[in-house]
Amino acid sequence: METTRKFIIIIVVALLGLTATAQDNQNHSLNERLYKAKVRELVFRLHITPEQQQKFEPIYRSYCEEMTALWNERKRPIKPSTSTDAAAMAKRKMEMQQRAQGIRMKYIDRLATVLNASQVDRFFEVESIIQKKLKERHDQAKNQ
């Protein structure tokens, strides 16, 4: 009886591990598809040439990874119960925005080595539009 129970526990733990691994793979696959879609949209909207794209993609991937790591640090928003809590939350949000701005500043010079003046000028505008569309779609899916 005890051996059977141990065997069942081992199987359950193994299945949970497989489920977690499958979910991680699904999330990675989704993130990769989103990244590729964003690259396609940027290439289209900024008229990036194939030669530019080869140099652009590694820079953009690095940029996306840094921004994703930053935004993954966010804590779930909770409704503040006091003015002090609300002020602390507002400060944290502003600090995150400031750090994001620092990342953007860092990458603008790198992008300028690959993109022409017009493309550099429009890059963050187009990237912002793409992010807003993704957020809208995410919010719509969440509300359904």
Alpha-carbon distance 37 to 42, whole Å? 9
Global pTM reads: 0.71
- Classify residue 98 by its DSSP letter: H
* Block residue for tokens 């299945």: 15
Reply yes or no on whether the pLDDT at 65 is more than 80: yes
pLDDT of amino acid 137: 83
SS3 at position 114: coil
Per-residue pLDDT tens digits for 21-35? 444 455 568 789 989
CA 38 to chain centre: 11
Reply yes or no on whether the pLDDT at 17 is more than 70: no
Query: Which sequence spans correspond to the domains of the chain?
Result: 2-143
Q: What angle do CA 70, 62, 27 make, to 5 degrees?
A: 65
